[in-house]
Structure 1
Amino acid sequence: MKLTVFHRSYRFRQPFRTSGWSMESREVLLLHIASADGAHTGWGECAPLPAFGTETLAEAEQIVSDASAVLAACRVSPHECTEDLDAALPGLARSPAARFALESALLDLEARSRGMSVADFLGGQHRSSIPVNAVIGGGPPGEAARLATEAVREGFRCLKMKVGGGDLEHDLDRLRAVRSSVDPSVSLRLDANGAWDFGEAEEALRAFIPYDVEYIEQPVAAEAVDELAALTGMNILPIAADEAAHSPESVRVLLERRAAHVLVIKPMAMGGLRLARECVLLAREYGVDVVFTSLIDSSVGRHAVAQLCASLPDPLRPQGLATGRLFAEDSGRDVIVDGTFALPTETGLGMTPVLEGA
């Protein structure tokens, strides 16, 4: 198999900000793997985000370069090549974004060669679309209300808003503005990105009770699992672990500790679609739901995660894959209608990236 790498930079419509950092564009590697005879190809995306604990772009480039020789010598079916890569490249386990991209491209290649979607190849439920939430960011009250109104008008029934970037009163003003601008049946999720210490988190959770919050992501730092478990046990509001759920090992710890009501998992940071899918099945044994989100990936990465979501058993909460709205430039186009991500009817990932003009 032959591996080709395309380095692309995609601008956001406006700087993407979260508590502690911001970025104006997304640097990604698009991986193209062709079968030995050139008859079939697959695509994957590597979008590292060191602020979330992944490798750097330079580290990803190196491991992807090392993978090229392994793929050239691989004589098993494409989806089995991931095991060869893991065995030959010890550093791949420490490069989750690169591993995600390589596995995605190999699964895309395998599924295309079989005339099926990646979702069908992964097995399980078959879906033509998946529900998704809209992101309304961390702007001032008026802007948050406007974005919420626009999202609901477009058919979204679930909104996600950043909190913790300022003082609590500012967040409460924004919550009031959003809740007063949309129907009470619209779900509202909050994401603090670990902004608070335990006392601040408890205060915020109690203050948010009147606003019918579906759950709040990562109210305390990712490494503060004891505090996360304590907040979960208090049952003030449903707690979701996001940054804390960064690996299969961390997911198992969170589940065993009963440290969250919901897990929010980014397959790009987890290291692959199949590892992420295993986490869902494990979480279901504990009665814990999983929501998948992008790592602010471009369209190739989002389509890979959408295929994973399409394979999952019911029930399926809205997933965090409507982030294409953030991009002024992108590797492709998502079809989102009435708050659902429409799965393409083509085989594999269902899409081929647009490389021109990036």
Structure 2
Amino acid sequence: MKARYQKLNLNFKRPSGTSRGVLTTKETWYLILEKEGKRGIGECGILRGLSIDDRPDYEQKLQWLCEHIHKNPAFLFTELKEYPSIIFGLEMALKSLESEHPHILFPSLFTEGKKGIPINGLIWMGKKSFMKEQIQEKIKQGFSCIKLKIGAIDFEAEMELLRYTRKEFSANDIELRVDANGAFLPEEALEKLQRLSELNLHSIEQPIRQGQLQEMARLCEVTPLPIALDEELIGVFNTSDKEKLIQDINPQYIILKPSLIGGFQGMDEWISLANQNDTHWWITSALESNVGLNAIAQYTFLQGNTMPQGLGTGGLFTNNIESPLEVKGENLFYNPMQFWGINKHPF
């Protein structure tokens, strides 16, 4: 077997704001495996400043993987333990190589185009007028679950936006989720959660910065608004540490992003632990291109989770790889009649 990798900078169609700054590009690397005339492709993508494997030696580790690709996969996965996005790319590429059709990793009614996956509409941070415009657009498109990123503009302005949405649409019409990306200070978080809860929101992701375990546990115990852990799962590698985190914090939800938590293996483990501890979960992309998003969507469909998932990111980039993934209303579908645009890229 031979392996190589190719880097691609994905360009956002419009600057996308988060509490950690405004995104204009997203780095990703494609891992290409070749064996006996067949080819498999996987995606290794990091989020600068967030991914635990955002390290100076990232490309060196990709090169190491290519040089050792002939070794036992179990050995490779062990050596890549602290590089969750490379693990995900390797898993993806191996499944692609083994598959009869290189982009069908998990055959199902989804890949046959017969069933879709409910997804949420994502609202990026920005000026109030821009966020309001996005909300109106998502509702017009047919979304009944909307996720707003908060924490970058004035909290009162964000509350006004949420009040506007709630005034126009009740909780029965629109499910509202918010993602603070750790923007609240521990001493102010409970008061803000109380105010947000009055708007009948579904949940809030990561209200305070990760790593403040005692404060997060206290919040989850007394919160009037369900809390979902997101960044908190990053960098937790051992099963015992994962179990301790869930049991100590006892969150209402956890959010799974395979590029950040170790691919399919990582998701399997977190889902099992969540189910054992009565913690609910859903799956979200981490701004992968359509190669990674395709793999995540196929895996997600097989889990049978009926909640809206965070998989509506395929249309964010100007230079994304054309794929059979299509958003219709509030569902993501795979159109088997649509061809992939892989050959347009230098793979």
Give the structure-1-normalised TM-score: 0.86
Q: Tell me which of 69, 84, 96 is aligned to 1:108.
A: 96
1:300–1:332 CA contact under 8 A, matched in 2: no
Structure 1 equivalent of residue 142 of structure 2? 155
- Identical residues among aligned pairs (%): 27
Q: Tell me which of 43, 54, 57 is aligned to 1:56.
A: 54
Q: Deviations over 1:53-108 (max 9, x none)?
A: 3323753321111111222x24xxxxxx5313135xx3x11211112111111122
Q: Does 1:326 align with 2:324?
A: no
- Matching of residues 1-358 of structure 1 within 5 Å: 1-35=1-35, 37-38=36-37, 40-56=38-54, 58-71=56-69, 73-74=70-71, 81-87=72-78, 90=79, 92-112=80-100, 117-120=104-107, 128-182=115-169, 184=171, 185-246=173-234, 247-249=236-238, 251-313=242-304, 315-333=305-323, 334-345=325-336, 353=342, 355-356=344-345
CA distance in 2, matches of 1:28, 1:57: 14
CA distance in 2, matches of 1:295, 1:116: 19
1:140–1:174 CA contact under 8 A, matched in 2: no
- Superposed CA RMSD in Å reads 2.5
- Unaligned 5+ segments in structure 1 are 75-80
Q: Deviations over 1:230-281 (max 9, x none)?
A: 1111131000000001235454233211431000111001121122122112
CA distance in 1, matches of 2:342, 2:232: 31
2:193–2:223 CA contact under 8 A, matched in 1: no
Shift of 1:357: 8.9
Instruction: State the AA in 1 paired with 2:156.
Output: E
Change in CA separation of 1:67 and 1:127 when aligned onto 2, cut-off 3 Å? farther
CA distance in 1, matches of 2:75, 2:296: 23
Shift of 1:286: 1.4
Instruction: State the AA in 2 paired with 1:66.
Output: W
Instruction: State the AA in 2 paired with 1:133.
Output: N
Change in CA separation of 1:65 and 1:155 when aligned onto 2, cut-off 3 Å? same
Change in CA separation of 1:58 and 1:98 when aligned onto 2, cut-off 3 Å? farther
CA distance in 1, matches of 2:161, 2:213: 28
Secondary structure at the counterpart of residue 14 of structure 1: strand
1:96–1:271 CA contact under 8 A, matched in 2: yes
Shift of 1:120: 4.2
Q: Deviations over 1:195-225 (max 9, x none)?
A: 1112221111111122111100000111012
Shift of 1:41: 2.0
Secondary structure at the counterpart of residue 165 of structure 1: coil
CA distance in 1, matches of 2:157, 2:170: 22
1:230–1:259 CA contact under 8 A, matched in 2: no
Change in CA separation of 1:141 and 1:50 when aligned onto 2, cut-off 3 Å? closer
Instruction: State the AA in 2 paired with 1:108.
Output: S
CA distance in 1, matches of 2:103, 2:345: 27
Change in CA separation of 1:342 and 1:278 when aligned onto 2, cut-off 3 Å? same
CA distance in 2, matches of 1:33, 1:320: 28
1:141–1:178 CA contact under 8 A, matched in 2: no
Shift of 1:169: 1.0
Of stretches 274-283 and 221-230 in structure 1, the one that deviates more from structure 2 is 274-283
Give the structure-2-normalised TM-score: 0.89
CA distance in 1, matches of 2:86, 2:59: 8
Secondary structure at the counterpart of residue 13 of structure 2: strand
Secondary structure at the counterpart of residue 311 of structure 1: helix
Of stretches 137-146 and 20-29 in structure 1, the one that deviates more from structure 2 is 137-146
Change in CA separation of 1:31 and 1:262 when aligned onto 2, cut-off 3 Å? same
Instruction: State the AA in 1 paired with 2:310.
Output: G
2:27–2:47 CA contact under 8 A, matched in 1: no
CA distance in 1, matches of 2:41, 2:168: 41
2:17–2:126 CA contact under 8 A, matched in 1: no
Stretches (4+) displaced over 6 A: none
CA distance in 2, matches of 1:82, 1:214: 40
- Unaligned 5+ segments in structure 2 are none
